Structure 1
Amino acid sequence: MNNSNAKSRIHRMCAAGNFNEDELYEKAKLMLESYRDVCWTTVDFVSEVREECELYEKEYYCSSDMETALIYLETFAPEEGKDRFEEKVHSLFETKWMVEIVDSAMLKVKECPINGELYFSMLSAYYLNRFEYTEREMMDEFNMERSTYYRRKKEAVIIFGLALWGSSIKDLRDELAI
């Protein structure tokens, strides 16, 4: 899809959802920039909580599966240091909630009729993967000139914002009847 067509469709989607495009871009970019750090530090945090669990239990019950580990941590309540433990577990669940919302929005980006696969790949490579690509590596990876790359990346971030604030958060609110 050519740039003007994609850009005009994104403008229309923002207008239809009553979103300020620049504000949406900034909020979505901030969320994406924090995702990698939150996601990968959580792995370390889960390990720390598991080690603390082992201090109270001789057997190791947590599997390497995050879901199983979180269920275990939710139901495990050591008598010693219970408040501190609950605070850590609560933090893990908040992080898991953030990761699930971002993942849900990313799936919607991928389904977008406007360059969805491209936007999904660009966002995943630049913001979500553990390895951080440089701008040059990204341009090489996607075989794009600098100006095209920056336009597509901005479009991808806006589409992510639309997927996140236009539906994921709203869907979650509706589910929880907030």
Structure 2
Amino acid sequence: MIDNLTKLEVLKLEFTNEKEIMNKSKLALELYLPVFWATNNSLNDMYDYALEVGEGDMKRANVMFEIFAPDKQKEDFLDNVDKNEYSSLILSSILSAVGQLREYPRYGMDYYTILNDLYISADHLSGESIAEKLNISRTTFYKRKKEALRLFSVCLFGYKIPELKGYLW
């Protein structure tokens, strides 16, 4: 999970040109599922650990952890909580930016479907399958994919990430 978090640090950079922004946007989308699953697994592990410590009772786990856990263990646990929260906020921003594409007046649902089916959905579809699903040619698919990435970049780096700046760094 830490490796994936390090890759998401890329989102904090300032961008100077459209190509760089597009590359960072595509990277954010490509990292979405691996980071999502790593975060989910980490949260499940933390939950299982808490249940084990508290013998099935979360309130008891909290008390036991607070009173008896060594400082290093508390520090590591809280650090893990912070990393998971950071990852969750970034993932939420990515998902929200993709979702905003649906509202775009022209081809918005196509843009949403393209990015969702290529990057967000666990059931990845190929470009050809998405073109078929949308009943468009492959050429049109690639044009709309490029436009979808451009609009996603605006949503993510123009609105979503700036909203988090005061909170995350």
Indicate the residue corresponding to 1:67 in structure 2.
none
1:128 aligns with 2:125: no
Unmatched tracts of structure 1, length 5 or more: 1-17, 63-71
Higher relative helix content: 2
For 1:7-22, list aligned pairs within 5 A.
20-22=17-19
Alpha-carbon displacement from aligned partner over 1:50-106 (angstroms, at most 9, x marks no partner): 1211231112449xxxxxxxxx99xx7562421221121111101111112112312
Please give the TM-score of this superposition, normalised by the length of structure 2: 0.75
Q: In the alignment, is the contact (CA less than 8 A) between 1:40 and 1:130 conserved in 2?
A: no
Alignment match of 1:101 (pick from 72, 93, 107): 93
Paired-residue identity, %: 26
Residue 53 in 1 paired to residue 43 in 2? Answer: no
Greater relative contact order (Cα < 8 A, sep 6+): 1
Alignment gaps of 5+ in structure 2: 1-14
Give yes or no for the alignment of 1:154 onto 2:149. no
Following the alignment from structure 1 to structure 2, what is the Cα–Cα distance between the partners of residues 90 and 142? Answer: 40
Task: Tell me the SS of whatever aligns to 2:158.
Answer: helix
Aligned to 1:79: 69
Q: Report how many aligned residue pairs link the two structures.
A: 148
Say whether 1:168 aligns with 2:168. no
1:139 Cα deviation (Å)?
2.2
- Secondary structure of 2:105's match? coil
